[in-house]
Amino acid sequence: MENRRVVVTGIGAVSPLGNDANSTWESMKEGRSGISLIESMDTTEYPVKIAGEIKDFDHKPYFSNPKDARRMDRYSHLSIAAAQMALAESGLTESSGIDRNRVGVMLGSGIGGLGTLEVNHTALMNRNPSRVSPFTIPMMISNIASGVFSMEHGFGGPNMAIVTACATANHSIGEAWRMIKFGDAEAFVAGGAEAAILPMGLAGFGNMKALSTRNGDPATASRPFDVGRDGFVMGEGAGVLVVEELEHAKRRGANILAELTGYGLSADAYHLTSPHPDGLGAARCMDMALKHAGLNAEDVQYVNAHGTSTPQGDICETKAIKKTFGNWSQEGLVVSSTKSMTGHLLGAAGGVEILACINAIRDGVIPPTINLHDQDPECDLDYCANTAREVQIKAALSNSFGFGGHNASLLVEKY
């Protein structure tokens, strides 16, 4: 069973850079910022007034039953939309002879239905218990997008939702990889979604002093590895892949986008919100992904960094990359943080960032780290500053690290 190879056959995304995977990728290559002043809520009393919001997105076409859409939180709307896009590209449901009981779904969220909780808690406090919607619980729980998507398509395989904060999407895709390799499924729809640009989300992260307050120039606020970075910029979105066993994909004539060859996971076991100062957990995570893929450090050309634009986090990840990749980190490896453009999509981040890795391999283009004009001396790698670069890529690694010390790395290779 260890020889079962896993490939990617579909990608779906909704992000501050575009309402589908292709427009998101094209914006990344252009180095365009998706950060702006928040329009979805009144920020008058908030010290943070910027975020990566999704604009002009209509979720309704992605639901066959309008009633289902009305009974779901915004994070689920984004999740289902990205999943439908990935499934459509894969052609999985159009293939004859597929066993739907061998197709799994793993759509996670770091926070879940925060908007639903806010609305119904307000109704409870300001009015009375009868005003709380009977759909409150199923709308806000983090597993409901997975459940609804399986019902929509009759997918009876493994179905679950992982919650590991900002590592959620990578863990979801990685565990789908593991279950396919182990033989428990032939294919998975896997990824993550988040929609937390809300009063509670903005106040909670803001009061932690985790967010950038560069309100006067939103497009330059997310600046990973730059001396002037002052915190991450919150974003919203979803990123979902269809991953499947290689022979299964070949039998149905699927278009194979890349091969998923490595998955690493670890715990910092250190602090509630801060990464290990020496990047030890992150390094173990990347080491495991390389080991699973059977690759040496110099076999990887590109790392899509977690790179959140936090003062400590960017230094710790730099240390971790140097620990894992050794001399190659200085001699040939290119690193970039697409969060400089999208902001931090929290539980959706890994799903959108693995998109960047897969398309970087396909197009031979590494997306830039924008707003990097005064590089921190402690961040001393090649971060592909400000402009995309043409590089032939055979293997790329994507990092996602979450509050609680949850680490997840995915490694994709050219098929």
pLDDT tens for 52-85 read 999 999 999 999 888 889 999 999 999 999 999 9
Question: Would you say residue 3 has pLDDT above 90?
Answer: no
52 and 138 share a domain?
Answer: yes
Per-residue confidence at 95, pLDDT binned at 50, 70, 90? confident
The answer to whether residue 2 scores a pLDDT higher than 80 is: no
Say if residue 279 is in the same domain as residue 401.
yes
Residue type, 170: N
Indicate if the pLDDT at residue 208 is higher than 70: yes
Mean pLDDT for 102-124 is 96
Type and span of the H or E element at 125: helix 114-126
**Other C-beta atoms lying within 10 Å of the C-beta of residue 144:** 25
Which residue, among 181, 144, 143, 188, has the nearest Cα to 162 in the 3D structure? 143
Residue keyed to tokens 């995915």? 410
**In the numeric block, which tokens belong to residue 26?**
């094209």
pLDDT of 1 above 60:
no
User: How many structural domains comprise the chain?
Assistant: 2
Percent with pLDDT over 90 in the chain: 96
Structure tokens at 175: 């565990």
Give the residue numbers spanning the domain of 85: 6-251
Q: Which residues are catalytic?
A: 166, 306, 344
Domain CATH code at residue 216: 3.40.47.10
Closest CA to 394 of 259, 266, 280: 259
Collect all residues with Cβ–Cβ distance below 8 Å to 120 and sequence separation of at least 6. Answer: 132, 133, 136
pLDDT at 47 over 90: yes
Claim to verify: residue 363 and residue 223 sit in the same structural domain: no
Beta bridge partners of 385: 369
Give mean pLDDT, residues 239-256: 97
Shared-domain flag, residues 315 and 238 = no
Give the lowest-confidence range in 62-71, 238-247, 284-293, 381-390.
62-71
Query: In the predicted model, what is the mean pLDDT of the chain?
Result: 96
| 293, pLDDT greater than 70 | yes
Asked if 383 and 375 touch (Cβ cutoff 8 Å), the reply is yes
User: What per-residue confidence (pLDDT) applies to 94?
Assistant: 84
Q: What percent of the chain has pLDDT over 70?
A: 100
pLDDT at 96 over 90: no
Q: Is residue 153 located within the same domain as residue 233?
A: yes
For residue 61, the tally of other CB atoms under 10 A from its CB is: 9
